Every structure is written in structure tokens, then in C-alpha cells.
Amino acid sequence: MAHAPKPVRLSQEHVLLLFDFADRRRRSLVSLDDFVVFHRVLARPDAEYQLAYRMFDPEGTGRIEMERFRQLLRSGLRADSPPFNPDCSWLSLYNHAGKQGEGRQWWTYAEFAQLLRGLPGERLRQAFHHYDPEHTGYITPEAFRDMVSSLARHRLSAYVLNHLTTLCSDTVATSAETTTGLVNYATVRAFYNVVRQLDSVDTVIRTAARNTADHRVDRMDFTDAAAQLGRSSMFSPLEVNVIFHFIKLEHPETSRFRPEDFRLLLDPSWTMPRSELAAVEVQDGETAKKPSRMAAFGLEAFKQAYSFGLGAIGGAVGATVVYPIDLVKTRMQNQRSAVVGELLYKNSMDCFRKVIRNEGVLGLYSGLGPQLVGVAPEKAIKLVMNDIVRAACRDPRTGELKIWHEVLAGCVAGGSQVVFTNPLEIVKIRLQVQGEMAKVANVPQRSAVWIVRELGLLGLYKGAGACLLRDIPFSGIYFTAYSHLKTDLFHEGQNGKRLNIWELLSAGAIAGMPAAYLTTPADVIKTRLQVEVRQGQTQYHGIMDAFRKIRREEGMRAFFKGGPARVLRSSPQFGTTLMVYELLQNWMPFSRIESSLGLGTAGAEAKRERERTSIDRVADAGLWRTRRALRLLQDLDFRFGMLSPSVAGAKQA
């Protein structure tokens, strides 16, 4: 079963105007030959200019007489429209007759097409002067509304038409200068340029949404996407402000908007035909079926695996960068001040120097192998779970997230990682401390595999309670602080700002400081529970037992042993991890992979577009060019061209 393209909504006047184009012999009849010729014209890439050319040259002479063009301009405008002077200096630039009138008095097709392209701009300039008779450089919002309604209402949605008076130079200004609610020419010109490029606006919005993690668009996303689509900037800053002004009116609570929010700018009657045809095809059960639950589940699983992979890469990079600090932290936390001769290190720097002197530089990386094996799933599941919970708690309309939802997302992420963290850390800790044990006792060096076999499955989760006690509050503090540092300190999203590498790294590092230090007591208890107890050392049986014995034997200060080293490790580690994770998401957005592989909505649309028949494409192009031709005429005045013989006859009837 095949669907015909969705009918184009044209008024009776538009249909009659097209009829006049097709009626080459002026018989009020269109023969089959006439229709074939008309259809061939529509198939041309410059169809809109061809149709306009035929309107001003109904006899088919092959040229446009200058005087006839001026007469049609005068007679084709409504009485209540802003006046237009066809004898203006701008139009005289296209005059080939010379001062004495001895030159040619007509234009070729190419010359006339170029004139039509620039004529709406001159029409706008003269209209502005009409509404600004005192030449102040400003017009009132009401005058702006009347001018736009006359010149561009055919390109605008009802929403924009109803909110034209809200656009003044104040609302889109980038400085503190005010104009008491008036509209200057720069704002008028920026608005009109946007109106003439609504198709490009739509393209940029779709591209920008595909390139962002939350599929929302702010000013910076829009500007970046526009720059990527062309060799030069497609929109000026003022034009971007105009676009987002109208969207912000409807959604004042957020600065990031969904692609569907921008539909307020677009007139539904001028939707691109390809989109219309795609919508019809989606409704066709045989042409484009909705994905099954299994397919949707598979796509979601693939998306999570993709995020998991990015998190694993970020985690591995972050862990490698700070691993020497982590080793120093572990050894500082493990030494017992209650045991005579146990204090091997005075402080973290002393520990660092002695490790290099006694074990070499490679000693700083003891246990790195198991760390990298385990840190990939550990950090990945933490990042993915945080994203999932934040997405689930986010307001679907505004995209806002309450602070307690942010804390909850971080806590869930921290709790979920323990299934990987605990086995990883108990093996890592025992590998890290065996180097110092070899200096005080005849203890053989053990491998990670030997430690795993010795502990067994249950032994790998020894101290899991303390691990939860550390990781849940750590992640709750860290992810919340990280999010607010980006928005409140570095102003991410304000005026479309996107953070650079150093700002992302700084936000992650600063957020790690309080999170790491405040959870140091839980980390000390976890380390004591997981380390292999040597002869003469205190043995602990659970979290509370460890807490009481450490406090009794070493005092409360012992709970913050290794705190500075923990801050020095966790702060840059998580800063690096989050920086790499977010940069990878920006460089390789899932939507781009989804589209290239033909998956999901974006991929299905691309696949349907490739599978469309050539007949569909030709018909689609004809409809598109027909409407563009009508818009080209209406750019002179929204009722321009409605005085053709067929239209006039229909009105009299």
C-alpha cells in the first residue's frame, strides 16, 4: 500500500494564480500540453524564478520591460500597504537605459531574477522610512507589527504574528543600552533575515539537537551547529537573539529548548514537503513500522553500552594520572601509630620519596593492572547511573532538576559502583602495601590472581559496608557540586556558553575536594578492614568495631589519615574522568552514531529518505518549488499577484 504525498494547503487565489501561469495562450483553459510544460518548469531547480518571470512576462516575449515592471509594482500593492517608490535609487542601479534613455529598456531572465532576490530588502528599507518619518532611527512596536504583517505575514506562524510587539531593541540587545521599547533598523533587519531563512533555522536546530547529550539546544549549541554547516557564519548574534527571544517567551523557565519548541517560529502551512511525506510514511504500517519493543530495548541497551564505554575510557585515564597519589594515600592510612616501629612515613611526601628510593619509580604503580581492569566498569557504571537517574528525575517540560534529585542521582551512582569497587580495592590495597611489608618482614610478593584465589568470592566483598559508607555520600556530594560549579561558577549555558577543557577539569577537581575529604573517615575504616593483618596488628571485626578501636588506640585524628593525599588523588582523578567523559560525548554524540548506523528515529528517517522513489522526489520538489514561487511574489506584499485575470474573475463571481 502506497500513500500519496500529503496535500498542500493552497488558497483558491493561489491555485488560480498557478492556473494563469499554466495558461500560456490566455484561453482560460489548460491543455495537456500546457500542463506538461508547466510541470517541466516546476521540475527545474530555479522554478520559483521561472514562474515569477512568467508573471511579469505573460506574453512570453523573453524579456521584462522596465516600465511594465514598475506599473505592476504600483498596481499590485494593496492601498493600505507601505508605499513603494519604483523610481528609487536602488532600482535605478538596474537601469540599463542610461540618462538619455538610449539604452535597452528591459531585463534578461538572469538580471530580473537577481533583481527579485534583492527587491524585498529595498521594500523593507522604504517601509521602515515610511513608519519613521522623523528619521529618528526607531519605530514603535505597533508600526513594526503593521510593517511585518504587510511584508512577511505569509512566512510567519500565528504565534509570532501575535507576539510581534514584544520584540524591541531592548529585548534582544547585548548591552545595557535601552531604547524605551522602540525598534531600530538593525533589529528589523535581523528579524527579516531570520524570517527569510526559517528553513535554515530548522536545519540548524535539528543538527544542534543531534549533537547534544540531552537533545536540547541553547544559543551556543545553535551557533556552533550553524558554524559547522557552512564556511561562514549563517546567523549574526542579533539574529540568534531574535530566534531565541520568541522561544524564551513561551518557555521562560529554561535556556535549553527541545527541537519541537522551535515549531512556534515555523508556519505549519510552509512545512518542508519531505517532512510531510516522512510523517505520512510513518503512519503507513507497511512502509515504516514502529520499532518493536525488542528493537527499542536493543537500541537502549546499545546506547547504555556506548555511554558505558565512554565512562570506561574516562575512568581509565583518570585512574592512571593519579595512581601514584593513590598508593601514597593507601600506605599512609594503613600504618598503625599504636604499634612500636610501625611509623615508616612522617607524611605523604616522605612516603612518596621512600617508595621511589626503596622500590623505584615503578613501585608507585604497584597494583595498577587490576586497577585499570576494575576501574573501567566501576567509573563507567557510576557515570551512566548518574546520567540515567538525572534523566529520569528531570522535568520533561523544562529540563530542570531539583537539587535533592541531583543528590539522589549521585548517591544511587555511588551505591551501584560498589559491586565493582570492593573487589577491585581489596586487591589493589593488598598489592599496594606488600611492598612496604617486604621491608619489615620476609613476606613473598603475591600476584593479583593469588590474592583473588586466597580471598574467594565472599572475601572480595570484605568491608563492603564501609565501601558503601564512603562511596554513597562521596558521589552525592561530588556530582551535585560538579553540576553547580559548571553552571554557577563557570556559567555553563548562560548566553549559550559551552565550557572548555580547563573549565571542565577545574569544575571536576574542585568538586572532588570536599567530597574526598569529608568521606576520609569511611575510607580509613574500609582500608583497615580490607588490608591483610600482620602479626602484632589490631584486627577489626566490622565497621563499628573498627571505629571504636581506631578512636581508642589512635584518636580521632587517625580517621583523617591520608586525607590530603586522598584529596590530591580524588580531585584530579574525577576532574580528569569527567572531563574526558564529557569531551567524548561532545566529540562523538550517540545521535551521530545512531544516524550513521540507521538506528532509532534519526536512522529510520535517513533510511526512508534513501528508499524513496524518484517519482516521489520529483513530485516533492515540484510542490516545494511551487510554494517557493508563491513566497517569492508575496515577499513584495503578502497579497501581491492576486490581481491576475483568473483571481479577479473569481472575486467578481
Provide the pLDDT confidence category of residue 650 given band limits of 50, 70 and 90: very low
406 & 333 share domain = yes
Do 592 and 619 belong together in one domain? no
Name the band, by pLDDT with cuts 50, 70 and 90, for residue 1. Answer: very low
In the predicted structure, residue 110 carries a pLDDT above the cut 60: yes
Does residue 591 form part of some domain?
Answer: yes
The 8-class DSSP code of residue 399 comes to: -
Whether the per-residue pLDDT at 623 is higher than 70: the answer is no
Whether residue 494 is found in the same domain as residue 589: yes
Displacement of CA 329 from its chain's centroid (Å): 40
| Residue 153 forms part of a structural domain | no
Among the listed residues 334, 356, 330, 352, the one whose alpha carbon sits nearest the alpha carbon of residue 343: 334
Tell me what the mean pLDDT of segment 528-549 comes to: 80
| Same domain, yes or no: 566 and 639 | no
More confident residue, 163 or 588: 163
Residues in the chain: 653
261 inside domain: no
Which three cell numbers, joined as nine digits, stand for 88? 528609487
Output the pLDDT for position 615.
Answer: 38
* Residue 284 in this model has a pLDDT that exceeds 50: no
Q: 36-74: per-residue pLDDT in tens?
A: 887 787 777 777 788 778 777 777 788 888 888 888 777
Which cell is 319 given? Answer: 585512574
Quickly count: other Cβ atoms within 10 Å of residue 598's Cβ. Answer: 13
Arithmetic mean of pLDDT over the chain: 76
Residues 397 and 465 in one domain: yes
In whole angstroms, give the CA distance from residue 71 to residue 325: 84
Does the reported pTM lie above 0.85? no
pLDDT of residue 315: 82
Residues 620 and 592 in one domain: no
Q: Of residues 639 and 623, which shows the higher confidence score? A: 623
Q: DSSP letter at 485?
A: I
CATH code: domain of residue 642: 1.10.238
Contact 569, 329 (CB under 8 A): yes
Inter-CA distances, 435 with 355, 425, 447, 546, 563, Å: 9, 16, 12, 24, 21
Query: Do residues 18 and 90 both lie within one domain?
Result: yes
How many domains does the chain divide into? 2
- DSSP letters spanning 536-592: TS----SHHHHHHHHHHHH-GGGGGTTHHHHHHHHHHHHHHHHHHHHHHHHHS-HHH
Domain of 622? 12-117+615-652
Quote the DSSP letter at residue 8.
Answer: P
**In a shared domain, residues 390 and 437:** yes
Residues 501 and 639 in one domain: no
Which of 550, 566, 596 is the last residue in one of the domains? 596
Residue type present at position 360 = G
Does one domain contain both 503 and 467? yes
pLDDT surpasses 50 at 6: no
Which of 34-38, 100-104, 258-262 has the weakest average pLDDT? 100-104
Residue 306 above 90 pLDDT? Answer: no
What is the pLDDT averaged over residues 389-413?
85
The CATH number covering residue 501 comes to: 1.50.40.10
